Structure 1
């Protein structure tokens, strides 16, 4: 906890801290690697300088003195030999793979140009060994062999440890920083937004982390509160309008009842019943009791059997197929309301409706199948929108605002489930509701 208090409160400050820490790590670890690499790899440039120095001594020495100098050098571990200049024609480059790797290293860490490049270049091979050659005079070459072959040079030894450590440290630090400070909070906010329920008054976006993340979560909570207030105002307004319309509608019904029998009276009563049905549909949609209903253990099979029995009692062919018992965590009244709306939608157009229940690996699936006319594919995603009425065989000549399926979609969303619609073969519709959770 004390360490967290010492950390900067903003992402900008934490990035600055990471850069400073990375520089410290690069300085310490890079220096240690440089010393290790210097001990492990010979300094080719320094070796070339010594070859040039010996060549300068041999240039002015007599033949006897030359042999003395070479003998002293060999005794010190330097394998020098004097060869004709024509030998340089048989010099070769490194093997193909080493050559490509050497080319890459030289392009990133170019070899120091002091001293002057040896005869044949910095990577010269003769008789299968790497050599360094320098001119003694116009007819003689001094060739050094027998030193360890390496693709490293002084630039690599001095600079590569810092380059490699800097890259690895910055990648590691910023990777951990991105996961801890940015990715996880954004993922948490995204999941909260996906599973949010507008009817829940509690704050769903947790306000913790860097100042920028806290500000984002706070802004989202404020925006959600404003949306909640706007939806609540709209709902209260519509409820008020619907209730206020019932008073004159009741007076119209009483006056129509006192009228003499005839087509005018029948027309008025028909319109009054139609308006009353529309008001009931709106009020039913605005009564979002399913949103506040708590999750509890319930026998969904019994709920579906009861729903089917209610439709059967009034003369509709609605039957249940599935197990006699299936316990899940759900909102029981909301589930009954969703299936009732689906069955009510189906019995308007079909002669037979089947409600199926089956267990899945991660929950249960409720399917409502009918043999009525289908819905065109381009309208299947729109039928769950409020107040949508498609111009097809399942909506023509039917009263209502088209809110029944919208209520079903809201109930499924409140369960964090999934709702799909498909045509039944050879005719009809198939509604599928998936409710996640353990099945008992």
Structure 2
């Protein structure tokens, strides 16, 4: 079985087809004698014709009324209704003495029907058909044919079809799904994980048929090259961003010695913008490559601190949630929440941070604002690096560089296995909902919840 699972798909299909042929042959050989031995129409008609011939032969040999009655009694014992018929009532086509072949042929003609005729009259009421047999030139017998349900003739075909076709095909489909499609399902799941989890070095396990193993190896090589190229690009951009700080510092020192106040103010503003762009770029790139170990923190205290820090700068930020809620997270989680609050502060006048322990469903953190909100299309695009949607949310002042939300999303998804979703707030505004999964207790720490009464801080 292992060698078959490792074979090519063409070989697997060939082996399964041969298996189907063998299975059908074995089932047919073991079941058809039983089915057709009891319910075959031809056999039943042949037996009936033999009994009629026996009665006719005994009646032909009878030389007295008593012997004729004995022949009729034999027919009764054989459960064949029969009666003598006057010669005057015999039609010209029945005036010939019946032979054994004639009896069998006429019995079949009286009882048999073609497939379409049987299907057409399947549910019609059956009627007994008389069979007139000329014994000799002076005597004739009328046999009343037994009534057989037409549905009985369909049983062998249906049973044979189920046993020979339906059941083997079901078995073949199950084996095929297990042998061929199951590795494809695992392959598809690995491809989905590879698109969302950059930490997997070789997500495509080389299992299954030869084609799937070859494809998995090729994709693993391609993905390794892409990751190496992305890592090299990230290192280069990080180095450039770091190197830009030196000339910026020199420019700032020279600007501060400028004797024209208006010109000095404008140049300092431009330098501040450049410095902010470098800081956001470094934060985005650093979170993409650095993997800082997690530690257990009190989410309630962390979110309260963020709300307090922003409130001290004049931004209306409020926090609500349990008094204590411990969770394993990285230091970068603070930057993710701060980015969400800072982004909301540009377009709204009030921001709410809500922490909720949902038990087995994980932990929910919602950053809500009363700004103008975003369209469904923009909710997806704002999570792309360097995309800015300032034209859609124009209530506040200031603007970012299009890296705040992507940085937060990367920290939550890659660093904590969570999910960031942007939702509409009623009646207006935007809700950035974070769902953090439960972390099982282990030696390195885990989720530990100590909840007190819910409170809020403004």
Which TM-score band (shorter chain)? 0.7 to 0.9
**Superposed, which structure 2 residues align to 1:272-291 within 5 Å?**
272-288=271-287
Corresponding position of 1:13: 11
Aligned partner of 1:189 among 172, 187, 190: 187
With over 3 angstroms needed to count, the CA separation of the structure-2 counterparts of 1:213 and 1:295, relative to structure 1, is farther
With over 3 angstroms needed to count, the CA separation of the structure-2 counterparts of 1:344 and 1:8, relative to structure 1, is closer
Q: C-alpha displacement at 1:116, in angstroms?
A: 7.0
In the alignment, structure 2 segments of 5+ residues that lack a partner are: 91-103, 440-446, 449-458
Q: C-alpha displacement at 1:76, in angstroms?
A: 6.3
Q: Measure, in 2, the Cα distance between the counterparts of 1:270 and 1:70.
A: 126
Corresponding position of 1:134: 131
**Superposed, which structure 2 residues align to 1:223-372 within 5 Å?**
223-288=222-287, 292-294=291-293, 297-329=296-328, 331-360=329-358, 361-372=360-371
TM-score, scaled relative to structure 2: 0.74
With over 3 angstroms needed to count, the CA separation of the structure-2 counterparts of 1:84 and 1:319, relative to structure 1, is farther
Aligned partner of 2:109 among 118, 139, 155: 118
Q: C-alpha displacement at 1:167, in angstroms?
A: 2.0
Q: C-alpha displacement at 1:6, in angstroms?
A: 6.2
Q: Measure, in 1, the Cα distance between the counterparts of 2:105 and 2:262.
A: 114
Cα deviation per residue 1:127-178 (whole Å; 9 max; x = unaligned)? x987564342598643243x8757344x964895365333212212322330
Cα deviation per residue 1:272-298 (whole Å; 9 max; x = unaligned)? 221121122112111125862445554
Q: How many pairs does the alignment contain?
A: 407
Corresponding position of 1:171: 170
With over 3 angstroms needed to count, the CA separation of the structure-2 counterparts of 1:431 and 1:308, relative to structure 1, is same
With over 3 angstroms needed to count, the CA separation of the structure-2 counterparts of 1:261 and 1:63, relative to structure 1, is farther
Q: Measure, in 2, the Cα distance between the counterparts of 1:294 and 1:134.
A: 97
Corresponding position of 1:400: 400
TM-score, scaled relative to structure 1: 0.77
**Superposed, which structure 2 residues align to 1:29-40 within 5 Å?**
29-40=27-38
Q: Measure, in 2, the Cα distance between the counterparts of 1:290 and 1:338.
A: 16
SS in 2 for 1:303: helix
In the alignment, structure 1 segments of 5+ residues that lack a partner are: 88-112
SS in 1 for 2:380: coil
CA RMSD across the alignment = 3.9
With over 3 angstroms needed to count, the CA separation of the structure-2 counterparts of 1:292 and 1:186, relative to structure 1, is farther
Determine if contact 1:374/1:429 at 8 Å carries over to the other structure.
yes
Determine if contact 1:299/1:325 at 8 Å carries over to the other structure.
yes
